[in-house]
Amino acid sequence: MRRLRPWALVLGRAPVSPRSYPHSAVLDGAGAYRLSWGRRGSALALRLEVRTRGYVGFGLSASGGMASADIVVGGVERGQPYLQDYFTDENRVLKKDPQQDYHLEYAMENSTHTILAFSRELHTCDTNDKSITESTVRVIWAYHHKDMGEAGQNYHGSNRGTKSLRLLNPEREEVSSASLPFFDLTNKDVPVPDKDTTYWCQMFKIPVQHEKHHVIKVKPLIQKGHENMVHHILLYQCSSNLNDSVLDYGHECYHPNMPDSFLTCETVIFAWAIGGEGFTYPPHVGLSIGTAADPLFVLMEVHYDNPSETEGLIDNSGLRLFYTPVLRKYDAGVIEAGLWVSLFHNIPPGMPEFVSEGHCTLECLEEALGAERPAGIQVFAVLLHAHLAGRAIRMRHFHNGEEQKLLAYDDEFDFNFQEFQYLNEERTILPGDNLVTECHYSTVDRIRMTWGGLSTRSEMCLSYLLYYPRINLTRCASIPDIMEQLQFIGVKEIYRPVRTWPFIIKSPKQYKNLSFMDAMNKFKWSRSEGLSYNQLVLKLPVNVRCSKTDNAEWSIQGMTALPPEIERPYKTEPVICNSSSCLSCSLFLTLLCILYITASTIGNTGPFV
């Protein structure tokens, strides 16, 4: 690529150092469109480098489509830079925004590429703009080989797309992996069955032994072309009493004929989900390997999503773990929190919103942390996990009846983009705290119940907490009471003792000899019934799951607990929004704003349609 020649410097500002954009992503498959970005106080700075000499479009969209999107279009035409703020209505009609909140810093163009650098306040007070938060952002992009004014309205054609990103990622220290030793845990020619959902398990032996090391970076190795099929990968620690005979072959997980050795693998030590990139541990934390307390045998669980039931697929995906003998101060641990995956978690059909809660109860944290770490643990990253019906997930934190700031959240959850969120500030979890994983779902397009389960068409509500120092607590979850759920639809009695699963209903007559799943599907659900049911479920007692490593349990396991009583709910801080187009109250800038907005009302359509 030839050296880019600057055409214009806006407001006399020189091109910003690339270090001002600590994050970057290629948005298209051909490498033609690169986005770089970084936060500057209350604003976000963005830089687009696109293989075109025409216009470049960039936007934020709640759905990933053109409807109700916040869009900016710019380029360099006849040596002059331009940048215009647009928005679309629900019918995808593009309109020029009267309040111009995207501000050009510089533009450059050469014979092949255009570069645009601009900024925007995170919150602008403009109803046509989309606020930028720590949630997932669906970025939309487009470009054309001609500029806006050359031939009227130019449609971008196939030069467009969408990608989910987290634009407010906190900056983190990158680890150069070029000189680090690593080992791969990858499947070998796994035949993916021609069915909707498969969980495949393979046992591995950690090659680093006899001396403590720290894993400091984990990178997914997804076979090319299988990016949408490999939905998530979990890595479990297994019993250290196994021998090498368990390494011979893989098998379907959760299958009646799976090897008994798989049952010893209960402790999650790492999690990756679709859309996520590699994970780098903070400078003071690492995943310990090589000692007697560390994993020797691990089980890698890969979730394959094959909704088209394609035959003949062979996969070799897995993980790459980078490690170092230079030890960090703390050993990392993982706690799986939320709703225990079971049929007791269910969501009625036709609901625009339904909320489920999974409880990491104060009883579990009191016992485990009280015994292992009374001073508490430090959470530094969280992965929020649900399936296709998921719309938003929040990790709520309670201390002494007072709700704290959200531990993690994603109000724009994207099933195809799930990765660990680094916390801006580490959070201390103390004995007696409560953690609630709150999942919001939409089932408006479904006519039958949605059940908790492994399939992507079933649902989950989980949080994976990365923390230090490592303690003997691997799962802190809950199961709601199923009988009170069934009483809502009129079930009076089931056959006892329970000999089948799902169990069978005895009365009343309309449900007699039906499984509880069939009875729930037979019930005539309306939105009002679904809302009443949701209110009931959120108040039900829960069964506590509180697990140690090696299939051991804390004594609170199996006990019944109540959801936390919120004495003082957290009051969110009011959003301070800035209209960056008129920040100064000086007469000169105010006049410029008035003149510009007046000029902007001439012509309301553009090329980005």
| Residue numbers annotated as active site | 199, 385
- The enclosing H or E element of 577 equals none
User: What are the structure tokens assigned to 380, written together?
Assistant: 């530094």
User: Cis bond leading into 508, ω under 30°?
Assistant: yes
Phi, psi of 486 (to 5 degrees): -70, -30
CA 435 to chain centroid, in Å, comes to 18
Q: How many helices (H) and strands (E) does the chain have?
A: 5, 41
**β-strands 197-205, 251-252: how paired?**
antiparallel
SS3 89: coil
Cβ–Cβ < 8 Å for 551, 264 = yes
**Residue 459 DSSP symbol:** B
What does the DSSP assignment read for 208-255? Answer: --SS-EEEEEEEEEPPTT-TTTEEEEEEEE--TT--GGGGS--EETT-
The amino acid at 602: I
Cβ–Cβ < 8 Å for 287, 281 = yes
CA distance 509 to 309: 39
Q: Which residue is listed with tokens 């301070």? A: 576
**Residue 68 DSSP symbol:** T
User: Cis bond leading into 563, ω under 30°?
Assistant: no
10 CB contacts (<8 Å, ≥6 apart)? 81, 103, 104, 105, 106, 107
Alpha helices in 341-456 (DSSP H): 362-372
CA distance 406 to 393: 11
CA distance 267 to 246: 18
CA distance 41 to 28: 29
Cβ–Cβ < 8 Å for 61, 162 = yes
106 CB contacts (<8 Å, ≥6 apart)? 6, 8, 9, 10, 13, 14, 15, 16, 81, 115, 117
